[in-house]
Amino acid sequence: MKQKDRRYFDEKDIPDDVWSVLRTASVLNVGEFRVFQLAHKEWYAEEADEKTIERFFTQYMFNEIVPLWVRHFCQKVLRLEDEGMLDPAALGIVSPQQASREQKWRGVEATFWIFGSLLILIFIAEIASRISELACRFPPCG
């Protein structure tokens, strides 16, 4: 058994087909559902709608049934990985892009707006409790 195939603890109970889907998802850095989508596209040479993939994926999730075309795709990907020739872009996987400086600043600005709004709401709640002279703010009040 190769070092990459090493299983630990309860992973030994996972069927080989399911394990290959899990490893493929890990190697490609995508979810298992995406593995099914990619496998369908390669096998049938067309994109499948989500309902089509979902029908097979449900059988995989609940009954551990891996379709032939997914099994074939996983074997191919894992073989390419072992040979050091795996190119995720060739399979249609686009690597995530880094956020631009403008996007980062918009994120920081949004964080400040949310934090500021929360502080204002807490301040208003404090003033309202003082005006209404509530002795107990949180239950249980006795």
Instruction: Give the tokens for residue 15.
Output: 């069927």
Instruction: Give the tokens for residue 82.
Output: 């072992």
Q: Scanning the structure block, which residue is given the tokens 């032939």?
A: 68
DSSP characters for 28-94?
HTS-HHHHHHHHHHHHHSS---HHHHHHHHHHHHHH----HHHHHHHHHHHHHHHHT---GGGGTPP
> How many other C-beta atoms are found inside a 10 Å radius of the C-beta of residue 80?
16
pLDDT averaged over 10-residue windows placed end to end, the chain, 142 residues: 59 83 92 95 92 94 94 95 89 78 93 96 85 69 62
Note if the pTM is more than 0.85: no
